[in-house]
Structure 1
C-alpha cells in the first residue's frame, strides 16, 4: 500500500525571467501532481523522471542550451535512482532549474529552398536560438517544396552545433525535395448511401495535374460543405506510383440524412413569429439537398394580421463543375399588413457558384405571380425575374461574430406583364465587427442597409419589392413597417417606398462568460423616388441583454423612438442570435 507523506515541494529557478519560470512550472508534472494532491510515492517518482525531458524542452524552446536541472527526492537525484529501487515514501521534493544564458544563432542555414519559400523571421543569424525556430524553418522548407509539386519533400539531414563559450548555436538543415509529382487516382471508402460517382463529381479530384497540397484541402472542403458528410479525410500514399504519380485514399463518414430546426422571435408590436424547416441532406444519393421551410408571423401582433410563408428548395451540388451547383425553389406567401394584403406565388431555378471560402454568387431565372388588395382596390402582378446575388462571408462566427465583414448584394431585374412595371430591385446588406479588449470582451458592430427600385413606378412595382422601415430588422424602437410613403390614390393610400437606407450601431460587452449587454442605435430613411430623393427619417435606441447558448445567444432588446413621428412608447424584442 503506497505511503502518503509529501510535506514540501520547492521549485527554484535562479536567474530565470518571470515568463520562463511560469512556462517551466506549467510544464512540470510534479507541480501538476501537487495541485492534484497526488502523494503516492510511485506516481511522484514517475513524474520526477518525466520532468527532466519536459523542462529541457521548455528551456530549448527559449534558447537555453546550457541549463542545469536537478530534481531531488529527499536529497536523492531522481535521475540516479534505478526504477527497481523506486522510493516507497517521499517527504520532500526540490526542483532546481538554472537556465544559464540564452543562445543566439551564429548560423541559420537551410537548403535547397523552393522558389518563394517564406522562412520564419526568427530563424536567422543574431536571433535567439529557439528550438521552435529550427522546427518551423524545416517545416516551411518542406512545405515550400510541396507547394511546388514535390509531394515527398522531407528533411534530408541536419547539423546543429552549440558553442557554449560563445553562447551561440549553428544550425544547418538539408532538404531532400524528391521528384515533381502528379496526382494519381483517388480511392473512396466509408460511403453508405452516397453514390461513388457523385462523390467523385463533387470532390473534383485533379487526377493527372501537378501535385498541390491546396488541392487536397479543396477536395475535403467541397465534400464537407454539401452537409452530407460528418467527416472527409485524405491520406497520401507512402510511395509514388508509376511516372511519379501520387495516389490518395479518401475516407468519408456520412451525416444523418434528415434534420429539423426551428426559430422564434417576438416583438411587442409585430407579435410572435415562429419558423421551422425540414432538411434532407442526400435525397437521391447524389448529395441533393431538399429544404422545406415555413414561417408564421404577426401572431397576436398589431401589424395587421398573420403572415404565412412556405418554401421548398432543392440544390444539386457539382452540376456544372465541382464548385457550381444548380437549384430549384418555390414559395407561397400570404401577407396581411396594415396597409395591404397579398397572396403571391414565385418559383425560380438557377446556379450557385462558390469562388472561395468567403465569396459566393447566385444567378437565377424566376417568375412571380401576386395579387394585392389595399384601399385603392385590387391589382395583379406578373413578372419574370433574373435574381442575382453576391455574398461575402468574412465573419469569425455567423451567429455571434466578434470580427470580420459580411456583405450581401442582390440585383433583381424584372420584366413585367399585364400592367406590371419593368425595372430592377437593388438591395445591399453590409455588416462589420471589431472586437477589442481581453478575449474580445467588447465588440463594436455596424450595419448598413440600402435598397432601391429602378425603372418602375410604385404603382407598377410588386408590393413585396418596396421598402418599409421600423421593427426588429431595421429600426428597433419604431413599430413594424411604420415608415412608408403616401403617394398612391393621390396620397391617400400608404405603401412602401422605392428607396431605403438603414444604419445601425451596437456596442456589445460581455459581463460574464454567458451574459452580455448591448447598447444600440438604429435609424432608417424611406423615399418614394429611386436612388433616394425626398423622404422621411426616423430612429430608435435602446439596451439589450444577451445570454449565450450552444446554438447562439438569446436576445432581449428594449428600445424607444428617439426621432420621427411614426411611433411612441417602448418596444420589446426577444429572439435567438444577435440582431445582426
Structure 2
C-alpha cells in the first residue's frame, strides 16, 4: 500500500510539472493580457481617473488569467467608466471595450476564453458640459454654496452633491436637525452641452437638544458619562455641539467606541433626543519604547496604564525610563513617575492632573537627584488649542562645577499649545506652536526666576501626493532673573543630540563663565528637513540643525554656536515613521565625529 501511494504521488508531481510548463509555453492556455485606454491623453487627469476605476486595469495589475473573470471585468467597466465620465462632467460619452477585437458586451458571460492577449477601452468623451440652471433652494441664511455649482461653470455630479450637502448642513447648523433633500431634477441638454440641475430642500422644523439616552455598554458611571458629554439639553440643536460631546468622550481614552447619534423622530415638544452607546477599551495597557544614539547610548522606556480607575473615566499611569546606557560621556539617567488624570473636573473641557516624579541625571557637567510633584488643570478650548496651569514643587540635590548644592523651587507652570498639523504623527502641512512660562520662587541655593520656552514647527508639502515635504523648527528659551549659579542645572540650556542639533554630541554645546563650564541661561535652535518619498513606505531625508547657548537671559548676547547636518531615512509603520539619521558636525568646537540616531517618530 505504501509503494502504490508513493508511485501515485510521483505521477501527480509529474502531471503538475507538465501543467506548469504548458501554462508558461503553450498558447492554448491563458496568460497575462495587455490593457490599453484610448481617446484620452495620458497627461489628462481624466486618464488616471478612468484607469483607476477600471476593473480591467485592476485585473491586469493582479495578473488575472481566468477568461470568465476577465470578460466579467470588461462588461462591468461600461457602467464604471460612464459613472466616472458623468462625475467629471461628460454626459454624452461613447464607450467601446474590445477583447481581442470583439466587443465585450456581445460576449456571453459564460464564455471560456482560453487566451486573451489585449483589451482596448475606447472612450469618446463628447463635449464637456456646463451648468445651465444650477439651483438649490431653500437655503438657510449665511450658507455658502460651492462656487463650482453655478451657471456657466463646468458641470459635474460632485458639484451637485456638494451643493446639496452644503444646503442641508446649512439648515442643520441653524437647528433644523432633520433637514434633507426633498426632490431633485437633473436634465442634460445635448444640443447646447448644458446640464440643468435643481435640488429642493426640506428644512424641517427647528429643534432643540432633548435628553441624552444612554444605552450603557460601559463600566463608567452614568452620572460621569452625562457630565463628560455635557449635552446642552434645552438649547437649539447644533451638530457641532453634538460632535464636541462625542469628542469629549473619546478624549478620555477610556472608550474603544463612541456612538452618539440623533433619535429617528423629534419629540412632540420640538426637542430631539441623542442616543449614546459606549464600548470600553481594555482597562490596562503596557507599552515599551527604545531609542539609540551612537554617542548617547541606548534609552529604554516603559509604562503601565489603568483606564477608568474609580468608575469615572479616570486614568492612572506609571512611567519608567533609563537613558544613556553605554553613553560615551556622563552616566546613566533614570526617571520614575506617575500621573493621575480625571476628565470633566469643574466643567466638561477641563481635566485635573496630579503627577509625581523621582529622577536622576548623571550628565557630563552635573549630577542631579530630584523629587517633584505637580497639580494642574488642562483646558481644551478646541481640537487644536489647549492650555494648562498648575502648581509645582521640585527639590534637588546637585553636584557640579559650582560644588554641592541644594535647590528648592515652588512655581506656577503655564503651558499653551496650538496644533494645526494635518497629521500629528506624520505631518505634511500646517504648523505647531507651543510655549511654556514657569515663574517660581527659589529657596536654599535657588533664586526667584521666570523660565520661558517656545517651540514653533512648520510643514509644507509639494508635488503630487505631497511627495516632497519641507519642515522647519524654531526653539527659543530664556531664564530671567537669576545667575547661572543660582539656577538648577536641569533648567539650564544645552544643545547637541537628537532633540536639538543632530550631528553634534549630546549636550556638547554649553557656556563657560569665569572658567566654569555649565549650561546657559538662553537658547536658540533652528532646524530644517527635506523629506522626499521614495516609495509609499520609505522616505529619504536631508537635515540641517543649529543651536546657540547664551551666557545671559538674552539669546542675542554672548554665547556659543554649533551646527550639524546629515541624511536619514524614514519607514512608515502605520502608527509613526521609523527614523534613522546619520549626522556630521558642520561648525562648532567638537570632536564627536558621525552621530547615529534611531527611533520612532520624526525628529520634529
Answer whether TM exceeds 0.5 for this pair: yes
Q: 5+ residue gaps in structure 2?
A: 1-27
Spell out the pairing of 1:75-86 with structure 2 (5 A cutoff).
78=105
Decide which of 232, 235, 252 is 2:278's aligned counterpart: 252
Deviates more, 1:518-527 or 1:546-555: 546-555
Which residue is 2:576 aligned to?
A: 552
Give the deviation of 1:321 after TM superposition: 1.4
What residue number does 1:366 align with? 392
1:522 corresponds to 2:551:
no
Q: Which residue of 2 aligns with 1:150?
A: 176
Q: How many pairs does the alignment contain?
A: 570
Q: Judging changes above 3 Å, is the alpha-carbon distance between structure 1 residues 364 and 22 closer, same or farther for their aligned structure 2 residues?
A: closer
Partner of 1:344: 370
Is structure 2 residue 293 aligned with structure 1 residue 267?
yes
Residue of structure 2 equivalent to 1:228: 254
Task: Describe the superposition over 1:404-442 as per-residue Cα deviations: whole angstroms up to 9, x where unpaired.
Answer: 212221010001223421111001122222222332232
Task: State the partner residue of 1:396.
Answer: 422
Map 1:501-512 onto structure 2 (within 5 A).
501-512=524-535
Distance of 2:539 and 2:103 partners within structure 1: 54
Structure 1 243/33 Cα, relative in aligned 2: closer, same or farther at 3 Å?
same
Q: Indicate whether 1:574 and 2:577 are aligned.
A: no
1:370: Cα distance to partner?
0.9
Q: Contact 1:103–1:167 at 8 Å: present in 2 too?
A: yes
1:208-253 alpha-carbon deviations (Å, 9 max, x no partner): 1111111122122111121111221222222111221111212222
- Is the alpha carbon distance of 1:427 and 1:48 closer, same or farther for their aligned partners in structure 2, counting shifts above 3 Å? closer
Residues 126-145 of structure 1 mapped to structure 2, 5 A cutoff:
126-145=152-171
Following the alignment from structure 2 to structure 1, what is the Cα–Cα distance between the partners of residues 298 and 110? 71
Matches within 5 A, 1:328-339: 328-339=354-365
SS of corresponding position for 1:465: coil
Please point out which of 230, 233, 251 is paired with 1:207. 233
Partner of 1:237: 263
Q: State the Cα distance separating 1:98 from its structure 2 match.
A: 4.8
CA deviation profile, 1:19-45 (whole Å, cap 9, x unmatched): 55664554455665676646565x677
- Contact 1:13/1:21 (8 A) holds in 2: no
Q: CA deviation at 1:503?
A: 1.5
Cα deviation per residue 1:55-89 (whole Å; 9 max; x = unaligned)? 4423322333344567799989959x9xxx97655
Which residue of structure 1 lines up, in the alignment, with residue 316 of structure 2?
A: 290
CA shift, 1:377, in A, is 2.6
Aligned partners of 2:32 and 2:65 also within 8 Å: no
Alignment of 1:423-502 (within 5 A): 423-487=449-513, 491-502=514-525
- Once structures 1 and 2 are overlaid, which stretch shifts more, 540-549 or 312-321? 540-549
Maintained 8 Å contact 1:4/1:89? no
Alignment of 1:376-387 (within 5 A): 376-387=402-413
Partner of 1:513: 536
Hey, what does 1:123 align to over in structure 2?
149
Aligned to 1:165: 191
Tell me, what secondary structure is at the counterpart of 1:193?
coil
Q: Is the 8 A contact 1:316 1:327 kept in 2?
A: yes
CA change 1:304–1:62 in 2 (3 A) is closer
Q: CA deviation digits over 1:364-415, x for unaligned, max 9?
A: 0111111112243321111211011011222233333332212221010001
CA deviations over 1:152-198 (Å, ceiling 9, x no partner): 11122223333333332322222111111111112223523222222
Equivalent residue number for residue 562 of structure 2: 538
Q: Which whole-Å deviations, capped at 9, do the CAs of 1:433-477 have from their partners, x for residues lacking one?
A: 222233223222222111111112222222221111222222223
Q: Alignment partner for residue 324 of structure 1, among 320, 335, 350?
A: 350
Q: Distance in 2 between matches of 1:530 and 1:7?
A: 71
Does the 8 Å contact 1:106/1:125 carry over to 2?
A: yes
The answer as to whether partners of 2:262 and 2:273 remain within 8 angstroms in 1 is: yes
Q: Residue by residue, what CA displacement relative to the aligned partner does 1:102-130 show, whole Å, maximum 9, x if unpaired?
A: 33222112211101111122211112332
Q: CA deviation at 1:333?
A: 1.2
Comparing 376-385 with 323-332, greater Cα deviation is found at 376-385
Distance 2:299 2:36 in 1: 61
Q: RMSD of the alignment, in Å?
A: 3.1
Aligned to 1:560, the other structure's residue is in SS state: strand
Match of 1:407 in 2: 433
Pick the aligned partner of 2:208 from 166, 182, 189.
Answer: 182
Write out per-residue CA displacement over residues 322-358 of structure 1, whole angstroms, 9 at most, x where no aligned residue.
1111000011111222222111111010100111111
Structure 2 vs 1, CA of residues 94 and 260 (structure 1 numbering), >3 Å: closer, same or farther?
closer
For 1:317 and 1:86, locate their aligned partners in 2 and report how far apart those are by CA, in whole Å: 60
Aligned residue for 1:133, secondary structure, equals helix
Alpha-carbon contact 2:37-2:51 (below 8 Å) kept? no
Alpha-carbon distance change, 508 to 424 in structure 1, aligned in 2, over 3 angstroms: same
Instruction: Give secondary structure in 2 for the equivalent of 1:138.
Output: helix
1-structure distance, mates of 2:104, 2:112: 15
2-side partners of 1:39 and 1:234: how far apart? 46
* Distance (Å, rounded) in 2 between the aligned partners of 1:14 and 1:353: 58
For the Cα contact (< 8 Å) 2:401–2:518, is it kept in 1?
A: no
Tell me by how many angstroms 1:492 deviates.
4.1
Counterpart-to-counterpart distance in 1, 2:93 and 2:347 = 59
8 Å CA contact 1:4, 1:39 repeated in 2: no
Cα distance change, pair 563–119 in 1 and its aligned pair in 2 (3 A): same
Q: Is the 8 A contact 1:372 1:379 kept in 2?
A: yes
